[in-house]
Chain A
Protein backbone atom coordinates (compact mmCIF):
# COMPACT_ATOMS: atom_id res chain seq x y z
CA UNK A 1 0.00 0.00 0.00
CA UNK A 2 1.15 3.51 -0.78
CA UNK A 3 2.20 5.70 2.12
CA UNK A 4 0.08 8.70 3.13
CA UNK A 5 1.03 11.93 4.87
CA UNK A 6 -1.42 13.94 6.96
CA UNK A 7 -1.06 16.93 9.27
CA UNK A 8 -0.89 15.94 12.91
CA UNK A 9 -3.72 18.19 14.05
CA UNK A 10 -6.27 20.75 12.85
CA UNK A 11 -8.90 22.96 14.43
CA UNK A 12 -12.24 23.95 12.95
CA UNK A 13 -15.04 26.21 14.15
CA UNK A 14 -18.40 24.57 14.69
CA UNK A 15 -20.67 25.04 11.67
CA UNK A 16 -17.81 25.73 9.30
CA UNK A 17 -16.40 23.36 6.70
CA UNK A 18 -13.50 21.17 7.80
CA UNK A 19 -10.99 20.44 5.05
CA UNK A 20 -8.57 17.63 5.86
CA UNK A 21 -5.68 17.13 3.41
CA UNK A 22 -3.81 13.95 2.60
CA UNK A 23 -0.76 13.41 0.41
CA UNK A 24 -0.28 10.06 -1.34
CA UNK A 25 2.29 10.79 -4.02
CA UNK A 26 3.22 7.11 -4.58
CA UNK A 27 -0.34 5.93 -5.21
CA UNK A 28 -0.71 3.25 -7.88
CA UNK A 29 -3.29 3.27 -10.62
CA UNK A 30 -5.43 0.58 -9.01
CA UNK A 31 -5.34 2.00 -5.47
CA UNK A 32 -8.27 3.80 -3.95
CA UNK A 33 -8.24 6.50 -1.30
CA UNK A 34 -10.20 5.62 1.85
CA UNK A 35 -11.04 7.78 4.83
CA UNK A 36 -11.89 6.53 8.30
CA UNK A 37 -12.32 8.37 11.55
CA UNK A 38 -11.93 7.25 15.14
CA UNK A 39 -13.77 8.96 17.92
CA UNK A 40 -12.10 8.56 21.30
CA UNK A 41 -12.27 5.01 22.68
CA UNK A 42 -14.27 3.69 19.73
CA UNK A 43 -13.36 1.61 16.69
CA UNK A 44 -12.60 3.36 13.38
CA UNK A 45 -15.62 4.30 11.31
CA UNK A 46 -15.68 4.22 7.51
CA UNK A 47 -16.42 7.62 5.94
CA UNK A 48 -15.89 7.51 2.18
CA UNK A 49 -13.62 6.23 -0.56
CA UNK A 50 -12.82 7.05 -4.18
CA UNK A 51 -10.54 6.28 -7.12
CA UNK A 52 -10.23 9.45 -9.19
CA UNK A 53 -13.60 11.14 -9.33
CA UNK A 54 -14.91 13.31 -6.55
CA UNK A 55 -17.27 11.48 -4.24
CA UNK A 56 -19.99 12.64 -1.86
CA UNK A 57 -22.14 10.85 0.65
CA UNK A 58 -24.22 11.82 3.65
CA UNK A 59 -21.15 12.24 5.83
CA UNK A 60 -18.57 13.97 3.67
CA UNK A 61 -17.11 14.82 0.28
CA UNK A 62 -13.84 13.54 -1.10
CA UNK A 63 -11.88 15.63 -3.59
CA UNK A 64 -9.02 13.84 -5.39
CA UNK A 65 -6.58 15.86 -7.48
CA UNK A 66 -6.26 15.06 -11.16
CA UNK A 67 -2.82 13.51 -10.71
CA UNK A 68 -4.21 11.54 -7.73
CA UNK A 69 -1.24 12.46 -5.58
CA UNK A 70 -3.34 14.17 -2.95
CA UNK A 71 -6.89 14.40 -1.70
CA UNK A 72 -9.06 16.41 0.66
CA UNK A 73 -11.84 15.19 2.90
CA UNK A 74 -14.50 17.84 3.42
CA UNK A 75 -16.96 17.85 6.30
CA UNK A 76 -19.33 20.57 5.10
CA UNK A 77 -20.75 21.71 8.43
CA UNK A 78 -18.58 20.44 11.25
CA UNK A 79 -20.19 19.73 14.62
CA UNK A 80 -18.63 19.04 18.00
CA UNK A 81 -19.32 15.34 17.43
CA UNK A 82 -16.95 15.40 14.45
CA UNK A 83 -14.01 15.81 16.82
CA UNK A 84 -11.95 12.69 16.10
CA UNK A 85 -8.79 11.30 14.54
CA UNK A 86 -9.16 11.09 10.76
CA UNK A 87 -7.18 8.51 8.82
CA UNK A 88 -6.42 8.62 5.11
CA UNK A 89 -5.58 5.19 3.70
CA UNK A 90 -4.59 4.05 0.24
CA UNK A 91 -5.19 0.47 -0.84
CA UNK A 92 -6.52 -1.72 -3.59
CA UNK A 93 -10.31 -1.99 -3.55
CA UNK A 94 -10.64 -5.76 -3.47
CA UNK A 95 -13.32 -7.65 -1.63
CA UNK A 96 -10.71 -9.96 -0.10
CA UNK A 97 -8.54 -7.07 1.07
CA UNK A 98 -11.16 -4.93 2.77
CA UNK A 99 -9.43 -5.30 6.11
CA UNK A 100 -5.79 -4.99 5.05
CA UNK A 101 -5.27 -1.32 5.66
CA UNK A 102 -2.12 0.52 6.60
CA UNK A 103 -3.05 3.27 9.02
CA UNK A 104 -0.74 6.17 9.76
CA UNK A 105 -1.16 8.36 12.81
CA UNK A 106 -3.93 10.41 11.21
CA UNK A 107 -5.09 13.98 11.77
CA UNK A 108 -6.66 14.94 15.06
CA UNK A 109 -9.52 17.28 14.20
CA UNK A 110 -10.84 19.41 17.03
CA UNK A 111 -14.12 21.21 16.38
CA UNK A 112 -14.49 24.20 18.64
CA UNK A 113 -17.69 26.02 19.65
Chain B
Protein backbone atom coordinates (compact mmCIF):
# COMPACT_ATOMS: atom_id res chain seq x y z
CA UNK B 1 0.00 0.00 0.00
CA UNK B 2 2.84 2.41 0.83
CA UNK B 3 5.14 1.00 -1.82
CA UNK B 4 7.81 0.29 0.81
CA UNK B 5 8.70 -3.38 1.24
CA UNK B 6 10.90 -4.88 3.92
CA UNK B 7 12.50 -8.30 4.12
CA UNK B 8 12.54 -10.61 5.88
CA UNK B 9 9.40 -10.16 7.97
CA UNK B 10 10.78 -12.15 10.89
CA UNK B 11 14.30 -13.16 11.84
CA UNK B 12 15.97 -14.96 14.74
CA UNK B 13 19.70 -14.46 15.36
CA UNK B 14 22.12 -15.40 18.08
CA UNK B 15 23.89 -12.87 20.29
CA UNK B 16 27.19 -11.79 18.72
CA UNK B 17 26.06 -12.49 15.15
CA UNK B 18 25.60 -9.94 12.37
CA UNK B 19 22.36 -9.23 10.54
CA UNK B 20 21.35 -7.41 7.36
CA UNK B 21 17.82 -6.12 6.91
CA UNK B 22 16.56 -4.92 3.55
CA UNK B 23 14.13 -2.29 2.35
CA UNK B 24 12.80 -1.59 -1.12
CA UNK B 25 11.26 1.81 -1.81
CA UNK B 26 9.26 3.23 -4.68
CA UNK B 27 11.06 4.72 -7.63
CA UNK B 28 11.84 8.35 -6.91
CA UNK B 29 12.07 7.99 -3.12
CA UNK B 30 15.38 9.72 -2.48
CA UNK B 31 15.31 9.51 1.32
CA UNK B 32 15.26 6.38 3.43
CA UNK B 33 15.26 6.22 7.20
CA UNK B 34 15.52 3.35 9.62
CA UNK B 35 13.85 3.08 13.01
CA UNK B 36 14.03 0.65 15.90
CA UNK B 37 10.83 -0.01 17.83
CA UNK B 38 11.01 -1.93 21.08
CA UNK B 39 7.86 -3.58 22.35
CA UNK B 40 5.43 -1.04 23.79
CA UNK B 41 7.45 1.99 22.73
CA UNK B 42 7.44 4.43 19.85
CA UNK B 43 9.90 4.08 16.96
CA UNK B 44 13.41 5.42 17.62
CA UNK B 45 15.30 7.08 14.75
CA UNK B 46 18.49 5.24 13.81
CA UNK B 47 19.68 7.11 10.72
CA UNK B 48 18.62 8.53 7.39
CA UNK B 49 20.14 8.40 3.92
CA UNK B 50 19.51 11.01 1.26
CA UNK B 51 20.74 10.29 -2.25
CA UNK B 52 23.01 7.49 -0.96
CA UNK B 53 24.71 9.52 1.76
CA UNK B 54 23.97 9.42 5.49
CA UNK B 55 22.55 12.81 6.50
CA UNK B 56 21.38 12.25 10.03
CA UNK B 57 21.86 9.78 12.85
CA UNK B 58 20.11 9.11 16.12
CA UNK B 59 21.65 7.88 19.37
CA UNK B 60 22.80 4.49 18.10
CA UNK B 61 26.33 3.01 18.23
CA UNK B 62 28.50 2.56 15.12
CA UNK B 63 27.69 -1.16 14.96
CA UNK B 64 24.44 0.02 13.36
CA UNK B 65 25.28 0.94 9.78
CA UNK B 66 23.48 1.30 6.50
CA UNK B 67 23.62 1.65 2.78
CA UNK B 68 21.33 3.16 0.17
CA UNK B 69 21.55 2.04 -3.43
CA UNK B 70 20.73 3.83 -6.71
CA UNK B 71 17.84 1.43 -7.34
CA UNK B 72 15.93 2.82 -4.29
CA UNK B 73 16.78 -0.13 -2.09
CA UNK B 74 18.63 0.07 1.20
CA UNK B 75 20.14 -2.05 3.96
CA UNK B 76 20.48 -1.85 7.71
CA UNK B 77 23.42 -3.80 9.10
CA UNK B 78 23.85 -4.57 12.77
CA UNK B 79 27.07 -6.14 14.01
CA UNK B 80 27.75 -7.92 17.30
CA UNK B 81 24.08 -8.38 18.08
CA UNK B 82 22.96 -7.90 21.66
CA UNK B 83 19.81 -9.17 23.34
CA UNK B 84 18.51 -5.57 23.55
CA UNK B 85 18.61 -5.34 19.76
CA UNK B 86 15.47 -7.46 19.69
CA UNK B 87 12.86 -5.14 18.19
CA UNK B 88 10.76 -4.25 15.17
CA UNK B 89 12.93 -2.49 12.60
CA UNK B 90 11.09 -0.06 10.34
CA UNK B 91 12.16 1.47 7.09
CA UNK B 92 10.60 4.73 5.90
CA UNK B 93 11.12 6.47 2.58
CA UNK B 94 10.14 9.78 1.09
CA UNK B 95 10.00 11.21 -2.37
CA UNK B 96 12.24 14.11 -1.52
CA UNK B 97 10.03 16.49 -3.44
CA UNK B 98 9.59 19.84 -1.72
CA UNK B 99 5.84 19.34 -1.29
CA UNK B 100 6.09 15.70 -0.26
CA UNK B 101 7.37 15.82 3.27
CA UNK B 102 5.75 12.79 4.79
CA UNK B 103 7.49 9.46 5.21
CA UNK B 104 6.04 6.17 4.03
CA UNK B 105 6.75 3.22 6.28
CA UNK B 106 7.19 -0.44 5.48
CA UNK B 107 5.65 -3.21 7.57
CA UNK B 108 8.86 -3.83 9.45
CA UNK B 109 11.20 -6.72 10.24
CA UNK B 110 10.78 -8.37 13.62
CA UNK B 111 14.29 -9.29 14.87
CA UNK B 112 14.69 -11.59 17.84
CA UNK B 113 18.15 -12.02 19.34
CA UNK B 114 18.60 -15.08 21.54
Asked if B108 and A43 make an inter-chain contact with CB atoms under 8 angstroms apart, the answer reads yes
A49-B102, A93-B101 given as contacts; is B42 within 8 A of A43 (CB)?
A: no
Chain A interface residue count, Cβ-Cβ cutoff 8 angstroms:
24
Collect the chain A residues with CB atoms within 8 Å of residue B100's CB.
95, 98
User: Within residues 1 to 51 of chain B, which ones have a CB less than 8 A from any CB in chain A?
Assistant: 2, 4, 31-33, 35, 40-45, 48, 50
A43-B2, A43-B108, A46-B103 given as contacts; is B43 within 8 A of A99 (CB)?
A: no
Asked if B43 and A103 make an inter-chain contact with CB atoms under 8 angstroms apart, the answer reads yes
Secondary structure at the A interface, as helix, strand, loop or mixed, is loop
Which listed residue (B40, B98, B103) contacts A99, Cβ 8 A? B103
Which listed residue (B31, B41, B55, B105) contacts A105, Cβ 8 A? B41
A98 to chain B, nearest CB (A): 3
A95-B97, A97-B56, A98-B101 given as contacts; is B31 within 8 A of A43 (CB)?
A: no
Asked if A95 and B98 make an inter-chain contact with CB atoms under 8 angstroms apart, the answer reads yes
User: Within residues 75 to 96 of chain B, which ones have a CB less than 8 A from any CB in chain A?
Assistant: 90, 92-96
Asked if B56 and A98 make an inter-chain contact with CB atoms under 8 angstroms apart, the answer reads no
A95-B101, A99-B31, A103-B42 given as contacts; is B107 within 8 A of A43 (CB)?
A: yes
Collect the chain B residues with CB atoms within 8 Å of residue A106's CB.
42
User: Within residues 20 to 36 of chain A, which ones have a CB less than 8 A from any CB in chain B?
Assistant: 32, 34
Residues of chain A whose beta carbon lies under 8 Å from any beta carbon of chain B? 32, 34, 42-46, 49, 85, 87, 93-106
User: 7 shortest A-B CB distances, which residue pairs?
Assistant: A99-B33, A98-B94, A43-B105, A103-B42, A46-B102, A93-B101, A99-B103
